């Protein structure tokens, strides 16, 4: 098991050791055996939800952009795409007058 980095330790570039490890993990998580969620628990000792909260803070940091601009921009684009897809699903599935009840197209209204 890898040593878990501490949150408060910052390097000369403004990123903490844990922030740097998060970026390194995102660069190569696919090399871990098994699911990403299990690798997150093994490496960081965090739930996947907490890890993604931490990742979002890291990729919004200007220090992270300076450290690895291509990776951070890629992660930001992926997050924006997921957010956009989620918003599209929300708006299309809850149209005005939609009761959520299934309707049959061959019913006639009398």
Q: If the chain, 110 residues long, is cut into consecutive pieces of 10 residues, what is the mean pLDDT of each piece?
A: 48 83 92 86 95 97 96 96 88 59 51
pLDDT of residue 3: 46
State phi, psi for 10 to the nearest 5 degrees: -115, 150
Residue 16: partners with Cβ closer than 8 Å, 6 or more residues away: 5, 6, 7, 8, 9, 10
pLDDT, residue 100, reads 55
- The pLDDT value given to residue 30: 80
pTM for this model (two decimals):
0.68
Pair 55, 43: CB distance under 8 Å: no
């Amino acid at each position: 098991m890898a040593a878990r980095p501490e949150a408060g330790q910052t390097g000369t570039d403004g990123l903490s050791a844990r922030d740097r490890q998060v970026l390194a993990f995102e660069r190569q998580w696919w090399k871990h055996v098994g699911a990403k969620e299990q690798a997150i628990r093994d490496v960081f000792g965090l739930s996947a939800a907490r890890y993604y909260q931490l990742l979002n803070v890291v990729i919004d940091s200007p220090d992270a952009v300076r450290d690895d601009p291509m990776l951070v921009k890629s992660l930001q684009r992926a997050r924006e795409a997921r957010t956009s897809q989620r918003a599209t699903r929300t708006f299309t599935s809850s149209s005005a007058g939609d009761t959520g009840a299934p309707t049959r197209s061959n019913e006639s209204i009398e």
